[in-house]
Homo-oligomer: A and B are copies of this chain.
């Protein structure tokens, strides 16, 4: 019975880690679509987001089943509850990637990102997707210290985000208020994506240790 229970917990981890992998792919594809104006890639990200919603529902059902049938306690209980929490956050990461794809779709056939900001958005996409991959690793290995690491990476995202905002709000911005608004919203989607990854890492650490790190 207990062995079956730990198989069930491992299965929950696999579901969650798969969700992170999907969020990372969505983030990379959405950024590519944003930078290249690739409409069909943008639409692919939007379609894939529905799949992530389904993965979340599956993850949550599995966790509910574990709670109802096994009534886990202590560390096991924390892990199951963390999985429900994290599934919600990772689903949100997918939504945010989909919003970025939507920005690309909306700008089409123009490119949403002007040349001077292309490297910044490329970096945002790269760092954010890597954070999602890293969270998948943390789930699979239950390594500690992931929260501090992700929070550190998040500082890079915050700096890139601030740079985009500085450019689009600068007095010398001469590309109109509509592109400025689209870019200010888009950079916020990256920042929020990274925030969700950090809060997943924080919750995983709580599950492992019983202390919610500040």
Closest to A63 in B: B81
Main secondary structure on A side of the interface with B = helix
Compute how far the CA of A73 lies from the CA of B69 in the bound complex, rounded to whole angstroms: 8
Residues of B within 8 A of A123 (CB): none
Chain B contacts of A88 at CB under 8 A?
A: 85, 88
Contact among B57, B68, B71, B169 for A177, CB-based, below 8 A: B169
Residues of B within 8 A of A67 (CB): 67, 77, 81
Cβ < 8 Å to B, chain A residues 109-149: none
Assess whether B73 is in contact with A68, with CB atoms less than 8 Å apart.
yes
A181–B71 Cα distance when bound, in Å, is 49
C-alpha gap A67/B84 in the complex (Å): 14
Cβ of A208 < 8 Å from any Cβ of B?
Answer: no
Copies of this chain present in the complex amount to 2
Q: Does A184 touch B at the CB level, under 8 Å?
A: yes
Closest residue of B by beta carbon distance from A171: B178
List chain B residues, Cβ under 8 A from A74.
Answer: 68
Bound Cα distance A67, B81 (Å):
10
Whether A180 sits at the interface, judged by CB under 8 Å, is yes
Beyond A68-B73, A168-B181, A184-B184, 19 additional contacts (C-beta under 8 Å) are: A67-B67, A68-B74, A68-B77, A71-B71, A84-B84, A85-B88, A88-B88, A168-B177, A169-B178, A173-B177, A176-B177, A177-B177, A177-B180, A180-B181, A181-B181, A181-B184, A184-B185, A185-B188, A188-B188
Q: Which of A's residues lie within 8 Å of B, judged by CB?
A: 57, 64, 67-68, 71, 73-74, 77-78, 81, 84-85, 88, 165, 168-169, 173, 176-178, 180-181, 184-185, 188, 212
